[in-house]
Structure 1
Amino acid sequence: MDTSEKFCFCTLAVGDRYRAHAKMLAQDIQTHMPSTTLCILSDQPEQFKNFSHVLAFKHHLQSVKGYHDKRFVLEKSLSLFESCMFLDSDVRVLGPLVEEMNWSPGITARAGTDLVKHIQNMKNPKEIEVIKAAAQKLNIDLQQLKWLHEFMFVMKRQNGLERDFFELWQTISYFFEMQGIYHSECFTIGLAAARIGMTFDFFREDKFPFFKDKIERVRIQNGQAIIQEKQIYFDIHKQIEYPKRSLWEKINNKLSKQVVFYYRLFRLRVFIKKDPNYYKIFG
């Protein structure tokens, strides 16, 4: 497979933290897979101009807390490439490919399980209630649904189904956000895929060595990794996540986030009125 023409990595990098992470990711890919494109949606795409393998596009967040904006990243990437792998911006690529990336059409996730199994470990009853309500509105049996960990997953064009998938993802995301659940993209992806009949599978073996803080902690707990070998990546991640700020900067940042949050809640209602499918399904 010629990854340079048919496949790209992609990520979302809006805000200082995420752009800083994405620059590290861009450098990693340039080092280990220089012929593979990284497609980035960012509020400041010009910050990636020094990376020749990066395609960076201007983007302002549309969802209430940004989680559902992954769909715009995927949509843009699939308009340019046959398949793409979404990576959280704070994923680090630590080496070249160890296994060729030949993907089946639809969605293929690195980690996940059946939704009913995942629900057993969920601690938020409201979240479970909303998932069940959404499935009922969409006439989907919970037993059919898959759940993925959204830090790494692949999409490949599937006979144009992806267009319906992205449209339905948007509509379902509005329903979750109206219930006060903003990080629900992992559930929305499963619901949208099941509703339109998009293939949904998993790949359990790493295609390349990587670091993701939450995943690495699980590996360390399970004796699958040694913390000393990955400590440098934990340290870099922490420096980006928790930069030193003055008290005034912290207060200003908190107030700004609140203003933006309430603005997006108001805007959500405007978006819903413009979505012809929302009231047909959830009205």
Structure 2
Amino acid sequence: MNILKPKPNNYCFCTAAFGEQYRNLAKLLATDLNKFAQSFPLVIFTDRPQEFQNYSNVIAVKHWCRGVKTYHERRFAIQYALSYSDTVIYLDADVRICDFIPDQLEFLSGLTARSCSSMAKHLKKYDKKDLNTKFQRKKETIEKMANQVNVNLDSPDLKFINEFLFVIKADQGKELDFLHWWGKLAIYADTLGLHNNPTYAMSLAAVKTNFSVFHSEMIGLNFFDDRIEKERIKSGTSNPNAKAEYFRAQYEIEQKKNKLLKRLMGKIYQPLNVFYNFIRVRITTIINPSKLIDYQY
């Protein structure tokens, strides 16, 4: 692990990268940031930190998954990164940075998301689904999560946050309360069978702790996200060839052919691993829930 001095007046980046595919994607992101934001560290929580030892801008921290899946583990990377800077820019491992980033990016205290909208509007689509579908069961789980923190799902303060790119800026300790309640709701959702979609735990935790949520286009942060770029191309706001190289590099990693035996083992191992983690989380929440919620480093 490379040790970099904290830069309290600036910002740092962070991501989570578990498994070969996401570690390889995170290496591309690390290379981008070393080129375009060399002064600022990238904190990576990962299962194999040794793979990042040659990246001078990376602080790689070994981490085991507390939840059933790894979607919520990013909160620990954010908490760690807050010890380096009071402003942390989280990016999914498959996001790329395409140009130089200004030395100063201004954000308000709280959570600022590149993409967010009304949670109430988002949840309305579930009302149109059949009561027996997985969508309705998912909404029932979200309602139980909201009841846990006494938050009204119709609250205008409740936002649907697209978690691929957002910023956490310290707000007199509220950020730590926010991360704690995010963890509590994440583990509670795990026990109910909702292992994906961090946005629900994040949004409810933000309202619970009065941690403000903002939307920003983040002018000055030129990034690539394949889903966003496809929408830009579809709407005519981006040239299909402008970021073709980024599409190609991501495709090569995500579509890398594995040997037949490895693919078969993956199909067997993954569901068994999810089942094992589900049982582990259910038991640990009874015996020692803080082990899953609070992270000491």
Q: Is 1:245 matched with 2:249?
A: no
C-alpha deviations, 1:19-42, integer Å up to 9, x for none? 100000000011111111111111
Q: Is 1:20 matched with 2:20?
A: no
Q: Is 1:65 matched with 2:76?
A: no
- State the partner residue of 1:267: 280
Deviation at 1:80, TM superposition (A): 2.3
Deviation at 1:208, TM superposition (A): 1.7
Counterpart amino acid of residue 152 in structure 2: D
Percent identity over the alignment? 31
Contact 1:176 1:184 in 2 (8 A): no
Deviation at 1:237, TM superposition (A): 0.9
The equivalences for 1:1-283 within 5 A come to 4-5=7-8, 6-97=10-101, 100-121=104-125, 124-142=135-153, 143=155, 144-273=157-286, 274-275=288-289
Contact 1:67 1:185 in 2 (8 A): yes
Q: Distance in 2 between matches of 1:211 and 1:131?
A: 30
Q: In the superposition, relative to structure 1, how do residues 33 and 99 fare at CA in structure 2: closer, same or farther (>3 Å)?
A: closer
Q: Distance in 1 between matches of 2:123 and 2:102?
A: 33
Counterpart amino acid of residue 247 in structure 2: F
- State the partner residue of 1:281: none
C-alpha deviations, 1:230-275, integer Å up to 9, x for none? 2221121111112111211100122221221111011111231123
Aligned Cα root-mean-square deviation (Å)? 1.9
User: SS state of the match for residue 82, structure 2?
Assistant: helix
Contact 2:45 2:74 in 1 (8 A): no
Contact 2:114 2:162 in 1 (8 A): yes
Deviation at 1:93, TM superposition (A): 0.2
C-alpha deviations, 1:209-243, integer Å up to 9, x for none? 11111111111111111222222211211111121
Deviation at 1:120, TM superposition (A): 3.0
The runs of 5 or more residues in structure 1 that have no matched partner are: 279-283
User: SS state of the match for residue 229, structure 1?
Assistant: coil
The runs of 5 or more residues in structure 2 that have no matched partner are: 1-5, 130-134, 293-297
User: SS state of the match for residue 182, structure 1?
Assistant: coil
Quick check: which one's helix share is greater?
Answer: 1
- Output the TM-score relative to the length of structure 1: 0.91
C-alpha deviations, 1:53-73, integer Å up to 9, x for none? 111111112221110101111
Contact 2:15 2:90 in 1 (8 A): yes
C-alpha deviations, 1:123-165, integer Å up to 9, x for none? 6222222222322332112223111100000001111122222
Q: Distance in 1 between matches of 2:245 and 2:30?
A: 18
Counterpart amino acid of residue 232 in structure 2: R
Question: Is the deviation greater in 69-78 or in 262-271?
Answer: 262-271
Counterpart amino acid of residue 116 in structure 1: A
Q: Distance in 2 between matches of 1:99 and 1:147?
A: 29
Q: Distance in 1 between matches of 2:210 and 2:284?
A: 26
Q: In the superposition, relative to structure 1, how do residues 257 and 210 fare at CA in structure 2: closer, same or farther (>3 Å)?
A: same
